Amino acid sequence: MPRITLPDGSAKEFAQPVSALAVAESIGSRLAQAAVGAKVDGQLADLSTMLDRDCTLSIVTEQTRDKRPDPDALFLLRHSTAHVMAEAIQRVVPGAQLVYGPPLDTGFYYDIAFPEDRPLKEGDFEAIEAEMAKIVREDRPFTRYELPVDEGLAKLRSEGSKYKIDNAERAIAASTAGTAVAHNAVRLSWYATGEPGKNWEDLCRGPHVPSTGRIGAFKIMSLASSYWHGDETSDRLTRVYGTAFFSKKELDEYLHRLDEAKKRDHRVLGKQLRLFHIDDTVGQGLILWTPRGSIVRKELQNFIAAELKKQGYTEVFTPHIGSLELYKTSGHFPYYKDSQFAPIIERNTLDTLCAEGCSCAEMIHRVEGVSARLAAGINERTGAETITPDRVLPDDRLIEGFMLKPMNCPHHAKIFASSPHSYRDMPVRLAEFGTVYRWEQSGELNGMTRVRGFTQDDAHLFCTEEQIPAEVQGCLSLVKIIFATLGMTDYRVRVGLRDPDSNKYTGSKESWDKAEAACLAAAESLGVPFSREPGEAAFYGPKIDFVVKDVIGREWQLGTVQVDYNMGNRFDLSYIGPDNKPHRPVVIHRAPFGSMERFCGVLIEHFAGAFPLWLSPEQIRVLPISEKSLDYARSVQYKLASAGLRSSLDESNERVQAKIKHGSEMKVPYLLVVGPRDAESGTVSVRAFGIEKDLGAMPVDEFVTAAAEEYRNRGASTVAARFQ
């Protein structure tokens, strides 16, 4: 006698078990027609699910009440389309073994092991889509059936797919783990596209839409590779990406959005607007800032430098390399050697080693070696065997060298240590636009967002433990000012906390508790959503990260604030406290932009290349109607330059229509059309980027003053607004 509670709070009682579809029908035939699935007690389920006990039920339809696509419905649809695609692929490529095919936010994929002699090619897409279209036209129902574990496993073994057997074993383990469910009580489920035994089927937990005919529009998007279980030593699989919608119109809109996103891609715009260049001969992942891009970067740096001044930071400069001993002290070398450029060893040393017949292995051992003194000091101060005895070598065996710096903190620690400090002058805030180098894997490199050399807007705050909350707070408010000025509101915040079950962390439990509380309180006061991420802390302290999405939906970590209990010990840093005794400072690492490269990359996409006036490389372009107005145009440009504005003059032999088009293509904020009429009256005719019309004439001096004001206040007031 199931009693079924509906979303509006009303309830229906049935004399015997009833399918979700039947309930929908009892509510209305139109609902039943629109239905693609059900939610039973909040769990997504098939429409055919039999309800045999009291539950809450909502019917999932293609659209929500406000006519928007229902995410649950799309989830079902895409999961089902993945099945249809898998069936089609197995028709086109016999012998393809299915592994795993889940839905995603924007579509779905299916990981498939193809026969070695018959890999899938993009050229196969057409044939596969044609097969898929047939299956959709046949409108075959997705039919679920279940088998007890042993019978199910036997079936899979007879079919011989190790991937599906593995999936089943994992499903069984998942449903018995930590529960009282007995192994043989578990049932495995299959979905046949049509009639079990006659039509194609797949081991699958479901749920699915009722039939293939519900799939309105689909497209195979791309091929990629993946590893079985994400393990790079395991089988290599081919991942086929696709997407599906209920209507062709929605699919077209989605594809159009993707196209638009591509046009905002910072790699495309960077070329088009001549902002930066990456040159093979210079090296992968190394950004050359062209004159235009350099202006954007410089404006951002000026902006942040001014904010730092307000917050009591002092600026420092440090070189791009440091000795290996520095990084042995900090702990960067050799623990992170896989993500660093190789050490720089002096030429004569190498020659001598070669002459001695020193082997590579021996050389590495000697380069990574540590003197007894340094090892003893670090071990004592960190209170652990941080440097193991096998790394300790006699001084005459050590090979010294240098390293491109992977981080700025060791240099800053040495600046702090270079003079004595009293608790009275804490915190010490050292800031530097410091360039660091990291050996990112070649496959990871991406435009400006993942590079091998980048400049952090870095700073290290050396403070007392009591000062941590206020300093963390200060860092976050800085990030907030920056993001607000740039209009970046769509970011999320992650607070990385320690893993309660691990003891890899340095620093006392009490210190951690306080620092984590400070980070959480600071994050809370920001007024934006944040997540707690246990286990995501650095080993030396908790951290707060700012994450922004790019136009293609990839997330990039930008700013970061990290509390560090380790560095003080490593570098034997101290300040004299009120008790006249030395104390260890805590160090806060922080970089609100993260790196200038990545930040600018994300910023290009954020503005779609149309920078606000203050950031724009070319703020104003003067367009004379003809050569006859050139002299007047030059006088206008002179006034702009005198007011500190960046402008250019279009002297080309084109008509003004063409000049406007070219200026718009370069996304110049203001175009000033000047002709005989303007020369006569001392005006300029203004066009603002994004407003596709002549705003009207304005006296030159008035424009110059207003534009200079817009520049100075970073867009708080605009010239364009004066015309509205």
**Is the preceding omega at residue 207 within 30 degrees of 0, hence cis?**
yes
Q: Which is nearer to RNA, 25 or 440 (CB)?
A: 440
Could you tell me the two tokens for 510? 């009490």
Residue 624: CA count within 13 A, CB half-sphere: 20
The answer to whether 401 touches 344, Cβ cutoff 8 Å, is yes
End-to-end distance of the chain based on CA atoms, in angstroms?
A: 67
3-state DSSP assignment of residue 314: strand
Q: Which is nearer to RNA, 48 or 456 (CB)?
A: 456
| Measured distance CA(651)–CA(539) in Å, rounded | 59
For residue 405, the minimal CB distance to RNA (Å) is 9
Q: Which is nearer to RNA, 152 or 401 (CB)?
A: 401
For residue 426, the minimal CB distance to RNA (Å) is 23
For residue 465, the minimal CB distance to RNA (Å) is 21
Q: Which is nearer to RNA, 223 or 345 (CB)?
A: 223
Dihedral sign for Cα atoms in the order 407, 411, 414, 415: negative
* Cβ burial, residue 16 (10 Å; 0-12/13-18/19+): exposed
Q: Which is nearer to RNA, 194 or 401 (CB)?
A: 401
For residue 578, the minimal CB distance to RNA (Å) is 32
For residue 705, the minimal CB distance to RNA (Å) is 20
Dihedral sign for Cα atoms in the order 404, 406, 407, 413: negative
The answer to whether 624 touches 630, Cβ cutoff 8 Å, is yes
Q: Which is nearer to RNA, 23 or 573 (CB)?
A: 573
Q: Which is nearer to RNA, 121 or 248 (CB)?
A: 121
Which sequence positions are flagged as catalytic?
A: 409, 438, 456, 458, 460, 543, 589
3-state DSSP assignment of residue 110: strand
| Measured distance CA(270)–CA(180) in Å, rounded | 58
Q: Dihedral angle at the C-alpha atoms of 59, 60, 62, 67, nearest 10 degrees?
A: 80
Locus of tokens 């028709």? 91
| Measured distance CA(551)–CA(259) in Å, rounded | 11
Task: Walk across the sheet containing 55-61 and list its strands.
Answer: 11-13, 3-5, 55-61, 35-40, 43-45
For residue 601, the minimal CB distance to RNA (Å) is 10
When computed from its CA atoms, the radius of gyration of the chain, rounded to whole angstroms, is 32
What are the start-end ranges of the E strands in 601-657?
620-624, 647-649
For residue 517, the minimal CB distance to RNA (Å) is 21
Q: Which is nearer to RNA, 373 or 677 (CB)?
A: 677
The answer to whether 423 touches 575, Cβ cutoff 8 Å, is yes
Q: Which is nearer to RNA, 230 or 578 (CB)?
A: 230
For residue 302, the minimal CB distance to RNA (Å) is 28
| Measured distance CA(508)–CA(475) in Å, rounded | 24
| Measured distance CA(630)–CA(608) in Å, rounded | 32
Would you put residue 268 in left (φ > 0), alpha (ψ -120 to 50) or beta?
alpha
Are β-strands 555-564 and 543-549 bridged in parallel, bridged antiparallel, or unpaired? antiparallel
* Cβ burial, residue 553 (10 Å; 0-12/13-18/19+): exposed
For residue 179, the minimal CB distance to RNA (Å) is 27
| Measured distance CA(460)–CA(588) in Å, rounded | 6
For residue 629, the minimal CB distance to RNA (Å) is 7
Q: Which is nearer to RNA, 504 or 581 (CB)?
A: 504
Rounded to 10 deg, the angle between the 125-138 and 71-92 helix axes is: 120
The answer to whether 78 touches 220, Cβ cutoff 8 Å, is no
Maximum distance among all Cα pairs of the chain, rounded to whole angstroms: 94
Could you tell me the two tokens for 407? 């981080």
Residues ≥6 apart with Cβ < 8 Å to 7: 56, 58
| Measured distance CA(527)–CA(529) in Å, rounded | 7
Would you put residue 240 in left (φ > 0), alpha (ψ -120 to 50) or beta?
beta
For residue 424, the minimal CB distance to RNA (Å) is 30
The answer to whether 558 touches 456, Cβ cutoff 8 Å, is no
For residue 661, the minimal CB distance to RNA (Å) is 4
Q: Which is nearer to RNA, 42 or 443 (CB)?
A: 443
The answer to whether 391 touches 421, Cβ cutoff 8 Å, is no
Q: Which is nearer to RNA, 192 or 719 (CB)?
A: 719
